[in-house]
Amino acid sequence: MSSSVAHAEHHHKETFLSKYVFSMDHKMISKQFLITGIIMGVIGMAMSIAFRLQLAYPDTSFPILEWFFGSKWAPDGKLDAGYYMALVTMHGTIMVFYVLTAGLSGTFANLLLPLQIGARDMASPFMNMLSYWFFLLSSIVLLSSLFVETGPASGGWTIYPPLSALPKAMPGSGMGMTLWLTAIVLFIVSSLLGGINYISTVLNMRTKGMSMTRLPLTVWALFLTAVLGLLSFPVLLGGGLLLLFDRGFGTSFYLSDIYLGSAGALEHTGGSPILFQHLFWFLGHPEVYIIIMPALGITSEIIAVNSRKPIFGYTAMVISLMGIAFLSFIVWGHHMFITGMNPLLGAVFLVTTLIIAVPSAVKTFNYLATLWRGNIRFTNAMMFAIGLVSFFISGGLTGIFLGNATLDIQLHDTYFVVGHFHIVMGCAAIFGMLAGIYHWFPKMFGRMMNKPLGYIHFWFTFISAYLVFFPMHFMGLAGVPRRYYAFTLLPEYGVWFDVNVVMTLAAILGGIAQIIFLYNFFSSIFIGKRSGTNPWQANTLEWTTPEERIHGNWPGEIPTVYRWAYDYSNPAYEEDFMMQNVPDEGVEEELFETPKTKINKTSKKPKTEAVTLFTLIKNWLKPNTI
Amino acid sequence: MSIIIKNPVKLLFVLFGLFFFQNSQAYKNKLTRPIDGIEGTDELIKQGSELFSANCASCHALKGKVVGPALEGVIDKYEEDYAWLNAWIKNSQKLVKSGDERAVAIYNEYNGQAMNIFENLKDEEITSILMWIDNGGDGDSPAANTDESLNSNQPVFNESLFNNINWAIVLLSFLIFLIIVMIFGILELVSNVTGREVINWNNINAFMMLVFLIGFFGLVIYEYNIHSEFLLPESASEHGIEMDKMMKWTWVATLPVFFITQFLLFFFSFKYRQKPGRKAYFLSHNNNLEYVWTLVPAVVLAILVSGGFKMWNKILRSDDSKNAKQIEVFAYQFGWNARYPGNDGKLGKANYNLINGINPLGVANRNHANELIKELQEDIYSMENTISKLPKELAKLKSALGGRVGDDHEAHLRKIDSYESGDVENDLRLTIRARNTQIERLTGALKINEGSMFTGEGDDDQVVQEIHLIKDQPIRLKFRARDVIHSAYLPYFRTQMNVVPGLPTEFTFTPIKSTEEMRAIKGDPEFDYYLICNKICGNAHFNMKMKVVVEDEASYNEWIKQQTSLFAEENTKAEDSEITTTEKEILAIN
């Protein structure tokens, strides 16, 4: 085909720069996202250990902190109260945006979308490259704020004005906040460039036979994630720009009736701080699903592959993903039940919030049904996928408490919230990401990761994560507020003293476990066992590409797809898997001329789908023939 | 701490953690010198202690920086110059604006974070606070000496021995860890070379899943056993009782799901582990099953939603709130005030433009507004004066550059730069503009006759630093913030509401347990209710509280009688002359 010839032509011109740095190859870009994400993750985690030390040992001198942060931020080896806030803020920002949005979606959307739908690259490789470079630039700007005189942004990752709008309200709202906003603007640009690309790739570049109903669930999840990002990130962009105006140009979008101890009565009048919160959470809540949906998609794929069973209820899985994606736009107010928002609105958000638990529950039950009577192989990826499901259950259930406005009056901004979102969104999404790394490492580097080390990594991380975050629910139920530098305000907080010690030590244990992972990851790139083309005996198209990972993905024709992605252990076949590109006798010619029912009759595979809603979608989005 | 001893696992953790600890110092107990010429007495120190925790503790501790510097040793530093220290405490901004070198240096060192104004404190009161500081605190205020209160919970060990053992443990565990990693690495290499697995990882991990399941459930139940005694006791407010019931029912709905699904997850993982020769059961979907597990959660959630919806409306949108007594709760960086309506039962109007040292809540009063306008005009004159002196100041700075080295030199250069670039002047001019706007707004407000905020209703309002509530009487808290968003959190009353500048919020509840009753329930004679801040509001966010006392009507009346009205003595004066002289002047200017 002409496209493959064209690829062969510019193949030999690659230099080091064009291959590894300014690469437009989606696989290289995905590695760039991944490694940047891992670096940001290490920084974010180190920060969390630093402030957990403060929480567990509020009066102890840690010379290492002074050595690391300098005597300004950690005088006598004790974190400064303002810098504690700064670390909390930066930890949140880095983890939410830089690791779990860009690091997770960026890596796997780039790697998997073209490979799993059978495309040679993204719809726009250049935009794809730009997306990474904006992300990198954004990361550098954000990290540079650690070195400004007044310290990085420290008003919490939600940067509520007026605190974040007034440089005189706290040191972190000075230069650090400006850099934070700049970094986020760059980040949004990166995210939009990527998102548009992912959407157009999935809609336009599917190979012959790859209808929307045959897409692997990873692709569905990443596709819907991109849609969410595309619709919600611009709102934060707008909100952030207005905040910049309030900070720099004297406007009053969010400011009104303020008297500052250090500046007297301000001129601002007529603005509303609540407006910012609406704009922020209009992104902020979909953002939670932007984080978790790719992880759920990855888990669906990995659980099916390693249980050697089709994912249970493919249609239900896709519908619930769509349901989550839609509902995530109308629940943002549950972050604001008691912010002074009209109580009537609160009641509405209470209803929508609890509805979103239904599709989440369906997904969980479907995972369990997939495991049932499977033939489970505990690969490293499978362990993390199971861990994800466990976190998703634990954290999802506590969400029912927080989504209920009445109970939120008591639990809002306590450690219950910290425990909840770290388990359901933090740990679950990180586990999804790690599962994805272990599973697709062979596709990225052509080598396998060290399995025993992966097991150690899993068990240490899994246990320490529960040890850190589970006790937080109890603290929250006892009314201990989050974002406290030290628990000295009330004597009753003293009883949580040793619990905090346990949590901190568990966090350190978790940190050490990540060192194992880092060693495993980077050493396996060079000394891992060669993987072969399909090490997991999986069905999807990425495992049909050669081990060498060439530009353009397939040396010859792009394979044609003949079946859905989950024909595992189908009794019609001898093997326990049947790849998507393997034709059934006498079917390929009439694939698109014959109606769906006829295909089912001629193929040996039993009827697996009750396609009613999807027939509509399928007709609407006809697969692309290259 | 009893639980440490009860739980050997935790004891180990704590022991390990103790390796990081250092000795805490004991406090001095006696004053050795007079402060500002006055000899300290026990009463004065006690008064100082109370004033300190009400006014200073949110930003200062004796040891260690909180937002402001540590105050231990402040007496040694300013022993020669109490007058300056007094002026600084009362109004540090004034000193900074007057160009006082020491004041400017401190202001810059703390990145332009100004100390709050304390013009309401009398000289003797400030002296008593200083006495308390020089005394080294009183040893039982948690805010003042964090070291003591936390470290006293710790058993004492022989430090050097303990340290050595710990180092050995750390080293040993690191070695063991390395060995494990190496063994696993070798095993993997062997299996790579021979092409078959040395260890059946699949069975091991499947078994581990089962072990984890048992351990996980065990720990959850164990933790519940220990921690449930730390949880909040029964609610001290009426709506809280029902809220607790709803909480209980939500547990009833979710806990079984938690245990069943987690069990199935790990049990399936174990049971259906890969075995040679077995093939998985091909099952792609089952509509009936899926309907069931869509509908059942939907129904359960619908029940929870309707309960939550009803109660939410009952708590936040009830009509009772209009009949309740109301008080205002005022939040600022970093503390709380409350305002009681006084004899007329009405809270006077307030405006942020009226806030100053003697009127921290900005309650509207004609005389005060006129005084404030004068004060602001003086401010403007002094700032304009400073601007005119800037070139001279710059020349002085430049001449003082010689002989400085290192960081000092750099800092001085930066200072010169801020003068040369016009930043200093710009800042001053912006402040002048803001003051002018403020004066304009105030004069405008003073001129209005109909709907004026200067109704005189606020004159008898009482501004206090702790809330007193009457048991079994509904109370409507109206929240107002001075600077940034705070959140008023009263965990025992199951009450929380954000306090937002420019947006009045409120919460109505009925306390049903007096402080005494709650003390009995908790078995803690020292216990008090507190209103705490629960929305990140700056560096001292963790240190913002106000005492709440619930008592019977008699003791409440006793207490409220003792509180002074804000503008009591001026009350009559204000009514006499409708327009004062300052006002006339301003009207003439405009």
More confident residue, B319 or A294: A294
Cβ-defined contact of B489 to A481 (cutoff 8 Å): yes
- Pick B64's closest partner by Cβ from A78, A409, A459: A78
Burial A283-322 (b: 16+ CB within 10 A, else e): bbbbbbbbbbbbbbbbbbbbbbbbbbbbbbbbbbbbbbbe
Q: Give the count of Cβ contacts less than 8 A between chain A and B.
A: 455
pLDDT of B75 > 50? The answer is: yes
Please report which confidence band the pLDDT of residue A293 belongs to, taking 50, 70 and 90 as the band edges: very high
Average pLDDT over residues B551-577: 76
Mutate to test the interface with B, among A260, A376, A600 (most CBs of B within 10 A): A376
The whole-angstrom distance between A488's CA and the closest CA on chain B is 6
The full set of domain ranges for chain B reads 22-151, 320-324+458-571, 366-447
Between the CA atoms of A597, A602, A607 and A613, what dihedral angle is there, to the nearest 10 degrees?
A: -30
CB contact under 8 A, B482 and A371: no
Distance from CA of B12 to the nearest CA of A (A): 10
Nearest Cβ partner of A163 from B143, B264, B538? Answer: B538
Under an 8 A CB cutoff, do A362 and B202 touch?
no
Q: 10 Å Cβ neighbour count for B161?
A: 9
- In this structure, of A59-68, A180-189, A480-489, A500-509, the range with the lowest mean pLDDT score is A59-68
Listed by start position, the domains of chain A span 20-256+274-527
Read off the pLDDT of each residue in A329-346 and give the average, rounded to a whole number: 89
Distance to chain B for A416, nearest Cα, Å? 12
Domain A20-256+274-527: which topology? Cytochrome C Oxidase; Chain A (1.20.210)
Q: Which residue has the higher pLDDT, A383 or A68?
A: A383
Q: Would you call A569 and B286 a contact, using CB atoms and an 8 Å cutoff?
A: no
The whole-chain average pLDDT of chain B stands at 81
User: In this predicted complex, what is the ipTM?
Assistant: 0.89
A18 vs B442, higher pLDDT:
B442
Q: Which two tokens stand for residue A298?
A: 């990855």
Identify which of A265, A314, A481 has the shortest CB distance to residue B353. A265
- Chain mean position to CA B121: 23
Residue A233 pLDDT = 95
Q: Is the pLDDT of residue A347 over 50?
A: yes
A490, B532: Cβ pair inside 8 Å? Answer: yes
Average of per-residue pLDDT across A49-71: 88
Closest residue by Cα to residue B535 from A92, A402, A254, A160: A160
What values do phi and psi take at A53, rounded to 5?
Answer: -60, -45
Helix or strand or coil: residue A260? Answer: strand
Tell me how crowded residue B140 is: count the other CB atoms within 10 A of its CB: 12
Percent of chain A at pLDDT above 90? Answer: 68
Residues near B419 by beta carbon (within 8 Å), at least 6 away in sequence: B390, B393, B394, B397
Residue A184: CB partners within 8 Å, gap ≥ 6?
A: A93, A97, A138, A236, A240
For chain A, the average pLDDT equals 88
Give me the half-sphere count of Cα atoms (radius 13 Å) on the Cβ side of residue B208: 17
Please give, rounded to a whole number of angstroms, the shortest distance from the CA of A618 to a CA of chain B: 20
pLDDT in tens, B179-194: 877 887 777 777 777 7
Q: What is the pLDDT of residues B490-534, one digit of tens each?
A: 999 999 999 999 999 999 999 999 999 999 999 989 899 999 999
Q: Express each pLDDT in A87-122 by its tens digit.
A: 999 999 999 999 999 999 999 999 999 999 999 999
* Topology adopted by domain B22-151: Cytochrome Bc1 Complex; Chain D, domain 2 (1.10.760)
| B331-385 pLDDT tens trace | 998 889 999 998 888 899 999 999 988 888 999 999 999 999 999 999 899 889 9
Closest approach of chain B CAs to the CA of A429, in angstroms? Answer: 18
Residue B21 pLDDT exceeds 50: no
Omega before A162 within 30 of 0, i.e. cis: yes
The alpha carbon of residue B294 is apart from the nearest alpha carbon of chain A, in Å, by: 6
The answer on pLDDT for A134 being more than 50 is yes
* Residues of chain A positioned with their CB less than 8 A from the CB of B284: 310-314, 566, 608-609
User: Mean per-residue pLDDT for B154-165?
Assistant: 45
Q: Mean per-residue pLDDT for B403-432?
A: 84
- Cβ atoms A318, A217 nearer than 8 A: yes
Between strands B495-499 and A264-265, the pairing is: unpaired
Which of helix, strand or coil describes residue A481?
strand
Q: Is the confidence at residue A359, as pLDDT, over 90?
A: yes
Query: Cβ of B316 and A346 within 8 Å?
Result: yes
Rounded mean pLDDT, A246-261: 91
Nearest by CB to B279, which of A150, A375, A504?
Answer: A375
User: In A315-398, at which residue ranges do the beta strands (DSSP E only) sit?
Assistant: none
The average pLDDT across A244-248 equals 92
CB-CB neighbours of A595 under 10 Å: 8
Full DSSP string of B513-581: S-HHHHHHHHT-TT--EEEEE-S--STTGGG-EEEEEEE-HHHHHHHHHHSPPTTTTTHHHHHH-SS-H
Pick A358's closest partner by Cβ from B10, B301, B542: B301
List of chain B residues whose C-beta atoms are within 8 Å of the C-beta of residue A302: none
pLDDT at position B585 is 52
CB contact under 8 A, B272 and A372: yes
- CB contact (8 A) between residue B285 and residue A60: no
- Which residues in chain B are contacts of A362 at CB distance < 8 A? 290, 293-294, 297
- CB atoms inside a 10 Å sphere around CB B246: 18
Q: Are strands B466-470 and B545-551 parallel, antiparallel or unpaired?
A: parallel
Those residues with Cβ within 8 angstroms of residue B303's Cβ, 6 or more apart along the chain or in another chain: none
Sheet strands side by side (includes B545-551) = B466-470, B545-551, B529-533, B486-490, B495-499
B398 to chain A nearest CA, in Å? 23
The verdict on a CB contact (< 8 Å) between A264 and B114 is no
Query: A393–B265: do the CB atoms touch at under 8 Å?
Result: yes
Residue B27 — pLDDT band, cuts 50, 70, 90? very low
Look at B497 and A267 and tell me if their CB atoms are within 8 Å.
no
pLDDT at A149: 85
**Beta strands B462-464; B495-499: pairing state:** unpaired
* Amino acid present at B229: E
Q: Chain B contacts of A569, Cβ < 8 Å?
A: 279-282
Residue of A nearest to B543 (CA): A489
- HSE-up (13 A, CA, CB side) for residue A244: 14
pLDDT at residue B229 tops 90: no
Question: Does residue B334 have a cis peptide bond before it, meaning omega lies within 30 degrees of 0?
Answer: yes
Whether the pLDDT of residue A622 is over 60: the answer is no
Report which DSSP code applies to B112.
T
Using the beta-carbon criterion (under 8 Å), do A256 and B501 form an inter-chain contact? yes
Predicted local confidence at residue A6, as pLDDT:
45
DSSP labels for B128-188?
A: HHHHHHHTT--S--TTT-HHHHHHTTSPP--HHHHHHHHHHHHHHHHHHHHHHHHHHHHHH
pLDDT band at B479 (very low <50, low <70, confident <90, very high): very high
Write b or e for each residue in B355-372: b if 16 or more Cβ atoms lie within 10 A of its Cβ, otherwise e: bbbebbbbbbbbbbbbbb
CATH superfamily of B320-324+458-571: Cupredoxins -  blue copper proteins (2.60.40.420)
The whole-number average pLDDT for the span B16-24 is: 40
Report residue B103's pLDDT band, with 50, 70 and 90 as the boundaries.
confident
Instruction: Please check the confidence at residue A603 and state whether its pLDDT lies above 90.
Output: no
B366 contacts: CB under 8 Å, gap ≥ 6: B446, B454, B456, B574, B580
Distance from C-alpha of A565 to C-alpha of B203, rounded to nearest angstrom: 28
pLDDT at B63 over 90: no
Residue A589, pLDDT > 70, answer no
CA distance A579 to A565: 7
Structure tokens at B544: 């913002």
Least CA distance to B271: which residue of chain A? Answer: A373
Provide mean pLDDT across the span B458-481. Answer: 92
Q: Which residues of chain B does A410 touch, with a Cβ-Cβ cutoff of 8 Å?
A: 240, 243, 247, 491, 494, 496
Contact, B256 vs A504, CB < 8 A? no
pLDDT of residue A38: 96
Question: What is the number of residues in chain B?
Answer: 590
Is pLDDT at B574 greater than 90 in this prediction?
no
Residue A436: name the closest of A110, A22, A156 by CA: A110
The separation between the first and the last C-alpha atoms of chain A, rounded to the nearest angstrom, is 9
Task: Label residue B155 left, alpha or beta by phi (over 0 means left) and psi (-120 to 50 means alpha).
Answer: beta
Alpha carbon dihedral B496, B499, B504, B508, in 10-degree steps, equals 20
pLDDT of amino acid B249: 93
CA distance A36 to chain B (A): 26
Look at B102 and B324; give whichever has higher pLDDT. Answer: B324
The proportion of chain B whose per-residue pLDDT surpasses 70, expressed as a percent, equals 84
Taking the C-alpha atoms of residue B478 and residue B474, their distance in angstroms, rounded to an integer, is 13
- B contacts of A499 (beta carbons < 8 Å): 227
Q: Across residues A486-493, what is the average pLDDT?
A: 88
Q: pLDDT above 70 covers what percent of chain A?
A: 91
Please indicate whether, in this complex, the C-beta atoms of B112 and A451 are within 8 angstroms of each other: no
Q: Name the more confident of B403 and A410.
A: A410
Task: Say if residue B140's pLDDT is above 70.
Answer: no
